[in-house]
Amino acid sequence: MDKIKVLVVDDSAFMRKMITDMINSQPDMEVLDTARDGLDAIKKINSLNPDVITLDVEMPNKNGLEVLREIKDSNVAVIMLSSLTSEGSSTTIEALRLGAFDFIQKPSGSISLDIDKVKEDLVEKIRYAKVHLRKKLKREKAIDKFSPINKSAYNKKKYEAVLIGASTGGPKVLFELITKLPKDLEVPLLVVQHMPAGFTKAFAERLDKYSNLKVIEAKDGDKIEPNVVYIAPGGFHMFVKNKQIKLDLSPQIHGVRPAVDKLFLSAAEEFGENNLAVILTGMGRDGAEGIKAIKLKGGITIAQDEATSTIFGMPKAAIETGCVDYVMPDYQIAEEIVKIIRGRS
C-alpha cells in the first residue's frame, strides 16, 4: 500500500516533532520532512511533492495564507493548524476560502503541549485529504448539468426559509454559494456548518464582507428576517421556534453540535412545506433525517453531487433516503435556489 506522504510545517520545533510522531505512528502515512516557516515549506513542497501538508497558520517570513497563495496550483491537500485567537480564526477561515482542505484547532495555543488530544482528528483528516486529492484530479469529469430525481418537485409558493447543512469542505462551497445570492432574495437562510466554537463568528464576518445579503452568527432569540443569513454558532445547536432562532446545549447529535438534523427537523415543524433544504459536502450522515422530515412536509430538497463534494458522506446519506429532489454540482446550487424561490424552475 502506498503511504500518504506528508510535509509538516510549523515554526515550533516541539510542534514539528509531536505532529511528526503522531503521523508516523499510523501504518498508512509517513512524514517526508518538516519545514520551520513558509519559505522553507515552499522549497520542500516543490522538491518533495507531498500529498498532504499540515500548515501552521501563524509563522515568520511567510505565513500560512502566503504559502497557500503560492501553492494554489500545486497538486497537494492542505490542512491548517490554527490557534484559537481572533486573528488566528479569521486567518483560518480565509485559508479555507483560498482552498485549504480543512483545519485542526490547536488545543491550547500556538505551542500546545497537549497536541496529542487532536491526534485522532488529524490522522482522519489526512486520510480524507488524500481521498479529496484523488477526486480533485478527476474534477474535470464532473457533470455539467444537475440530475433531477423528482421532476415535479417545483411549484409556485412562498418559501419561508432556505436551510443549508455542511461539514468537511463546506466553508468554501458556502462562501461561493452565499456570495452569489442577490440582496433581494426575500427569504432568510439558516446555515449549520460543522465548525468549532470561536471560528463561526469569523466565518460569518468573512461571508458578510463579501455577500449581498447580511450574514451574522446567530444569537438566541434572534427574530428570523428575510435577506439575512444566520450561521449556527460553534458549540450550540440551532433550531427555530415561533419565527425565532433558538440555541441550546443539548447533547451532541451524530457526535456534533451544532447538528444539521436539529435545525432541519425544527424547520419542518415550523415552516411545513415552505422550506428549501440543501445538503452540502461533509462526512457522516447528519441531515439525512432532517431531509426526510422536510420532504414529508412537502418542502423541496437539494443535495450536492459526488463529483464536486469534498466528502460525499452527508449528501449520499440524504440521497439514500429517497427524499432528495435534485442532485447538482456545487457551482449550480445558488442559481437553482434563486429559481426555486422566485418560482421560475
Last-in-domain residue among 117, 137, 157? 137
Residue 332, domain extent: 147-341
The pTM of this model reads 0.89
The CA-based dihedral angle spanning residues 206, 210, 94, 62, taken in that order and rounded to the nearest 10 degrees: -120
Given a cut of 50, is residue 179 above it in pLDDT? yes
Same domain, 195 and 294: yes
pLDDT one-digit tens code per residue, 45-60: 999 999 999 998 888 8
pLDDT at 106: 81
Last-in-domain residue among 84, 119, 137? 137
Same domain, 90 and 199: no
Grade residue 144 by pLDDT with cuts at 50, 70 and 90: very low
**What's the CATH number where 316 sits?**
3.40.50.180
Residue 196 domain flag: yes
Given a cut of 60, is residue 74 above it in pLDDT? yes
Same domain, 111 and 181: no
Given a cut of 70, is residue 149 above it in pLDDT? no
Residue 200 domain flag: yes
Same domain, 112 and 173: no
Same domain, 249 and 124: no
pLDDT at 143: 47
Same domain, 75 and 152: no
pLDDT one-digit tens code per residue, 309-324: 999 999 999 999 999 9
Residue 225 domain flag: yes
Residue 183 domain flag: yes
Place of cell 491550547: 108
pLDDT at 142: 46
Phi then psi for residue 300, to 5 deg, are -105, 145
Residue 153 domain flag: yes
Average pLDDT, the chain: 90
Same domain, 131 and 151: no
Same domain, 61 and 86: yes
pLDDT at 301: 97
For residues 43 and 113, which has the higher predicted lDDT (pLDDT)? Answer: 43
Which residues 6+ apart lie within 8 Å of 294 measured at CB? 163, 264, 267, 268, 275, 277, 301, 323
**Into how many domains does the chain fold?**
2
Last-in-domain residue among 114, 137, 160? 137
For residues 143 and 339, which has the higher predicted lDDT (pLDDT)? Answer: 339
For residues 322 and 74, which has the higher predicted lDDT (pLDDT)? Answer: 322
Q: Which of 215, 201, 175, 195 is nearest to 86 (CA)?
A: 201
Residue 142 domain flag: no
pLDDT one-digit tens code per residue, 4-24: 999 999 989 999 999 999 999
Same domain, 125 and 259: no
Residue 12 domain flag: yes
Q: Which of 134-148, 149-163, 218-232, 246-260 has the lowest mean pLDDT?
A: 134-148
Q: Which of 216, 170, 197 is nearest to 308 (CA)?
A: 170
Residue 124 domain flag: yes
For residues 271 and 64, which has the higher predicted lDDT (pLDDT)? Answer: 271
Same domain, 32 and 155: no
pLDDT one-digit tens code per residue, 271-300: 999 999 999 999 999 999 999 999 999 999
Separation of alpha carbons 100 and 220, rounded Å: 31
Active site residues: 167, 194, 286
Same domain, 113 and 159: no
**What's the CATH number where 117 sits?**
3.40.50.2300
Same domain, 161 and 301: yes
